[in-house]
Structures are given as C-alpha cells and as structure tokens.
Structure 1
Amino acid sequence: MHCAACCSRLITAAAVNNRSGRPPPAPSPQPVANRRWHHTLALRCVAGVLSLSLFNNTHSLGLAHEIPANYDHPKEQETELEWMVAEKCEEQTAAETAPELATSTVSNEEIVDEAWSIVNDSFINSGNSNWDPERWRQKREEVLRNPIRSRSRAHDIIKRMLASAGDPYTRFLTPSEFSRMAKYDLTGVGINLREVDGEDGSTKLKVLGIVLGGPAHTAGVRQGDELLSVNGESVEGKTAFVASSLLQGPKETYVTVEVKHPDCGQTETIRIQRQVTARTPVLYRVEPMEDGKTIVGYIRLKEFNALARKDLIIALKNLQDSGASYFLLDLRDNLGGLVQAGIEVAKLFLDEGNTVIYTVGRDPQVQQSITADSTPLVTVPVMVLVNNHTASASEIVATALHDNCKAVLVGERTFGKGLIQSVFELHDGSGVVVTVGKYVTPNHVDINGNGVQPDFLKKPDWNEVAKRLASCRLHNS
C-alpha cells in the first residue's frame, strides 16, 4: 500500500494498514523463529490515495510527513491506532487486537536486513540520487558482516544505509516517531475507510482501521463494518476520501452513520461524537473588476487536508451565486498536504475523462493513470497563482488545470516535488520512509526537481486568459 500525498501516506498519508504482509526479506545471519513479514503503513487519507506528500526539512528525523500543523489531536487520549478482527455481530464486543511481536524476539541484524529489503524491493531512483542496485547489494554484505550489539546501533546503521541512497525523502523513523504517525486520523472519529470490491462488482466502503476507545469504537462501530450513509446521505459511489470528509466536523458535534456489520449482515444506525477536526484551508471573497460589473471569485487554498475538497465546493458555489465570471485560485505558499485531496480538488475543474496525473513506480499499485470521473463544477476561465513554495499536491492541481486547458499559471516557477513515499513499519516498531514512485503531469512532464514554469509572471487581463485557454484547447484537439 502506498501515500499521501497525504498520503498519501497518504498520507500517504492517513488510512493506515500496518498489518499487511510483504515478501520475506533475504535471510539474515540470525533468523528468528515464527518471523512475520514487515508491515506496511500506507499513509493515505484512505486506501486508494496516491501518497502522503512528504515536503519538509528533508534531513530532519522528526515527524516528516505533511499532517497539517494545525491538526488537533486529543491531548487526553493517547490510544494507539490498533487493528481489530471482527467478532460476531450479536456479541458486539471489542475485537481482539493483533499482538505485537516482542522486540526481544527480533535480532538487530533482522531489523537492519528488513530495512534493506524494503528499499531493495520498493525504492525508485528519482534521478537525483546515486542509488545503484549492485552497490545496494554490497551495502547489505558490509553492514551485516559483523554482529550488531545493540538496537540503537542497528538504528544508526539503518540511518546511514538509507542516507547512502542519496534520496533526501528516504529516511528512518524511530519507534516514537512511527507511533505518532500511526495516530493520524482523517475522519475525526477514529476510523479509516477503504474501498473494497464487492461480490456483485460494486465498490463498498469498509472500516480498515479503528482507534480502540475512540469515538467510533465507543459508539459501536467495528472493524470490517461497511459504511452505508453519513447523516442520511448515501455513500454509494463515493470514494473513501469523500466519505471521510463527510465525517469531519467541529469538535464535540455529532455525526450519524449507518453501518452494516460483517458476518450476520445486521444494519445499525450509530451516533458518534466527533473529537478531532481539521481546520478549513479555504478562504474566499468576491473581487469586483474596474468596470464595476464583472466579478472575480478569489479563493485562497492554504493546504490540502480532509476539508479541502468539501470547503472548496462551498466556496465555488457561493462565489457562483454571487455572480463570479472568473476564478482566481491562489496556491502560493501551499506546500501540499494530502495528495489525494489535491487530486479530488483538481477533478472539480476537469471534464470527465481528463487526466489528472500519471504515477509510475516499481510496484504495479503505483503505476496508474488517474482521470476525472464527473462533469466540472467550474467551466469559466481560471487563473492559478503559484510561487516557489507551491509544491506537491499544489503542483498536481496546477498542472492538471493547466495541461487540460482549464487555467493559466501566474507567478513564479513552482518548487518541483513530484515523488511518492510510503511508510513501512519494522518489527521493533520503528519505520522507514521510502520513495516508491513519482508522478508526471497530464502532458507527461516530470516536474520533480524542475518545477513548473508559469504562463505569466504578472496577472494578465482576463481577455488574454480566455485567448490563451482557447488556443490551448485548439492545440489539444
């Protein structure tokens, strides 16, 4: 599973799956009995999220994913994000959590070898690193040549080993850093949703993970439940990301969900009190033009969090009702956030079938073409403001609108962050962040390290914008 963008990981990050199996790493000098394969924490806002965008001080070993800085976690509740196996519906008891593997049963060599294997299996060279498969195999022999006497020594070896890959985004997470990352909750009620194919061919939304003792769990939601509706609104046909945003709301308010329990198929309506909320990243206003008749709708999007799409829809509709003839989307200083949020925002402006982004990687799950699946909410000309701090998810939106002739870009060259990271859990509770793929624009441009050059350095006249977009459409036809 891969982040995010969010995600992506999610995000990245956000929907968490730290119990999924991976192929076994190469044998280490001291194999352990009953070995479990290394866990994957795909930091997506939900399963299906491209990636959690990882833009930060790339040499820091602190929390290095783009959970918004203003995302409030409950101070009084320090429950870990645990995983539960569904019990029979009639019992309605808390499911058992998967036991943690005792650190003492995993050798230091095993931990180092596990980290090496993850990179060997998943890492993609972004073009700016000096990673070479043969040198990487030699690195394993070097680090495992002598006994590793302590766990801290093993962690130091992993740090240096990952640094040798030459990729600033591939790095080590201590157990405490990984634990904090695992508490990321997109919905505000302590669950993560996943899109699952049903037997009838339809896509269902199921509870992938749940915070034990959290709002949803306390109210009666269980691992494996299928989500049917939120506040009376059916989620049929909706993505997990959209459904998660419906669950969001002000702290201590209530949301009502309808779920179908596994096994017996019982349907239950449950009222949940929210505990965590993401703050709106959207600011908007009307800006009358000099003629006093034409109105421009100005929208400032500060980051891509769980509320970005939902609140942007509200802003667009309110500005349209106010008579906006054009839209100015300000992405300056927006460093990204959840990549899936960026994808969903871009879709609001695109025609059905338009490409949002292409993703490439060694894992087939990373190789995909993401397209818009509905009619656009906005059809009038759009101007997107960018600068050298417009990055990652912001660049996805900017290039999707630009390459599909929906907007012109104005300002400075963007930052150039086009990589996908996944976060993998190691057996001792630590983790590694690994670059597993990259995305390219609808026009097949790799922006990583290059950024995007705007069409204009200063705001043009709207008539010039309309002409540029018309010419773009003619060229693409």
Structure 2
Amino acid sequence: MRRLLTAILPMALCAQEDPSGLAEHIRRFTQVYGLVEANAAEPISAGRAFEEGAIPAMLRKLDPHSIFFNKDQFQQLREMETSTRKGFGTIVSVLPGRVIVLQTMPGSPSQRAGLSAGDEIIAVNNVALSRFDTEQMVEFLAYSRQKDALLAVRRQNFPRPLEFVLSPATLDAPTVDRAYELKPGIGYIRVASFEDKTGRDLQRAIEKLGGKQLKGLVLDLRNNPGGVFSSALEAASLFLPAGTRLTSIRGRSKKEENIDVPAENDPYTFPLAVLMNEKSASGSEVVAGALQDHKRATIVGTTSYGKGLVQSVFPISNGDGLALTTAYYYTPKGRSIQRRYEGAQIDPNLNTAKAGIEPDVVQGPEPGTRLRHFIDANGLFVAFATEWLQRNPKPQPGYRMPANTLDQFQQWLSAHQVQPTLAEWSVDRAWIANRLEQELVNLSLGVEKGDEIEAIRDPQIQAALSQIAR
C-alpha cells in the first residue's frame, strides 16, 4: 500500500492548480483504498481492486468499447487481430437444440469428410446439441471449429447415427457474399463486413453484373458490423466523384482529419439503394452516411446501430493494454452517428440526438406469425425437403416448385400432427410456398440460389427495388 501511495501522491501534489480537482479526487481515492485495505472484513487483492474494479468502472463511464486488458487478455487480442479464419466449410441452419446442414463448400473439410445437405448434426465431441438454446449453440459451434471435432450425424434412412472427424482448415470466406440480378439490368449485392479485399471484391461483383451498364443496384449492408475502415471508404468511393467528402474524424486529442474521394476517381452513376438495419454499424454506417448526405443513394430499412467511434489500442506496463475511444466519425454534413450510452459521459457538444443512420424509406423486416415461427423453429421445411428430394428429380437452375408440392407439404404436416386452421394456412400460404421452394433450392443448388428465392418475399429488398424503378 505504501508503494502505491508514493506512486500516486506526487502526481496529486503536482496538480495544485488543476481546475478539474484531480488532486483532490486522487487524494480521496487513496484514502478510501487505505481504509478498505486496513479495515475490510476480508483481505483484498490490490490487483483485483484496480484491474477488476477501479479501472473498468472508470472506463464504463466513457463507453462500452473502452476496455482494459490484463496481460493474458491483451495477448489474446493481438492473436485475434492476426489470426486466420478457420472452419469446416459447412453452412447450417441453427435451430433450438438442432443443427441441420444446408450446404458444404467445395473442397472444404466437411465435403471431403462426406457430410451432405439435409444431415442433422446431433452431437459434437460427444456433447449433445439438444442441450443448447440458439445463442448458446452459435457460441459452442464457433468454439468447436477451432480444432479437430467428432460429429455425430443423423441421416435420413440410416438406422443409427454416423460419425465424422473433421479438421478445421483456413477458409477464404468472401465478405461480398451475394451478387445476382433482381430484375434484368438491376443488381443486388450483399456485403457482410469490410475486410482488406472488400472494396475490390465489390467492384469486381458490380462488373460481373454489368458495370456501368447497370440500370440500378441494391447494396445490402444489413447486419454488417463494419471492419476495416479504409475498405469501407474504398467501397463508398465507388459511387462518388473525386474530391467528394467521405467522412471527418474529430477528437479532443486528435487534429481534425477530413477524408475525401481520391483524385481521378471514376465512379458508377447508376441509381443506388442501400439496405440498413439495427445491426448495421461502424464502417457500414460511414458508407451509408456519405451516400445519403450527397443524395447519391436512397437508404431503405430501419435505423442503424449508431457506432461512429475511433478505437485506439495502447500497450501499457507489464504487458497489459487499453482499448480507448479517441475520436468520432462524422458524415460529410457534420452528423455524428454515435449513439449515447446510458450513464456514459459523452461530450455534450456531440450531436447524437439521432443516433445511427436514419433511413429515407422506413421499411421493417417480414412480420412473423405463430405458424411461421413454429414451422421454422422445428426445422419442418428442411425435414420435408430432405425427404422430398429423395423421391423426386433434383431441382435445376431456374427451378420453380410444382403447385402440388405445397399440397404434399400440407399433408406431410398433418401426418406429423401439425394441423393449422384454415385461416392460418390462408394467411401464410404464399409465404410457406416461397419458403418451401427456397429450402428445396438450398439443399440442391446451394444457399446462394436459395437467397434469390427469398428476395422475392423480402419486403426490404422489394422496397429498395421500387425506389430504383421509380
């Protein structure tokens, strides 16, 4: 304790004329700590008191993103920043207590091991998946794919579970993961996040769809959490002329920095609509904010998350580290997209009255019904589609589901004790038909083609399409 006081008190005594009262605050803190150390019913650890108590409590008053890391945590952070993405190359449908394979990627560990669309994974490393809810399942699967895993799999028409041993491999998962035509001449591209190659991959996808000959593009940034900031700026530059302001960076200890579109930029000029939702954050919000401020795109969907801050990582003594918010991003018109956090001491001059990017056209996601939720949550589409594909010709590109397949599905549901009322079936009939067709395509042609079927019923995509077609 004496060593701690001799380290802190000189700093306090040197702050005699500090208008913020730093000296008095430090003096009070050391007095409290001295009393606690001397008189508390249980002995306290100085390390825990500071590293798990005082320092995190101080940072919480700033924002949830400013975090202290001890030596081990800081080392893990550094490893995460440089690690490669590994996995088994399997696209799955995660339901409460169930995981069903939708697709195995070509050349991936899952394909080489023999997993097939329609297989149900019932256990990983002898841990039954039925014990997990959906959120726990996602976390467990993410952990499991970092090392060799033993999978127990239930397959249609096999009397007992099959076992597969999979070794994770480095995967090249593109962030520009969907690109196709919604209508002749009108493209759709989804950007899942921003990584080093995202800007180039986005331009490559646009060119494949027609480049400058396109009549319009729907750019889907829903659920995009951001990522590499320079890549987000590169993506926005594809649609704005040279010299156009992209964003500004301002902070108390950081000189204001204005970032513009590079000179000699040759942008695309076709009509553009951008999809956003409450999980669109950071880099995706900077992109949407720049396009919105310059009236280059119509923003469609719901208000984005509201994360427009600059994080700096500082190594400190003993191998510890600090991630600290040091500045904020502003849109070209000076809007901050940073949300206010309850109890956090954010600069009162920061304009955060309207956090995030507010859409020009408000359009929520597809509403749910009791019947839809029940069928999806119990994996009934996948189960029926798997059986149906064993008895019928496999769908080919351009496939449209025969009308009697919907009747077969209704009869199948009834045989499995699922008997919706006539009113429920009438309300959801069109949705069920589209969703069933999507699942048949998922299992036979891959989820990318299945997503094209889903786009027909997606109200946000359709709202964006109507804005381009005006």
| RCO comparison, higher one (Cα < 8 Å, 6+) | 1
Give the helix-richer structure, 1 or 2: 2
TM (norm. structure 1) is 0.47
TM (norm. structure 2) is 0.48
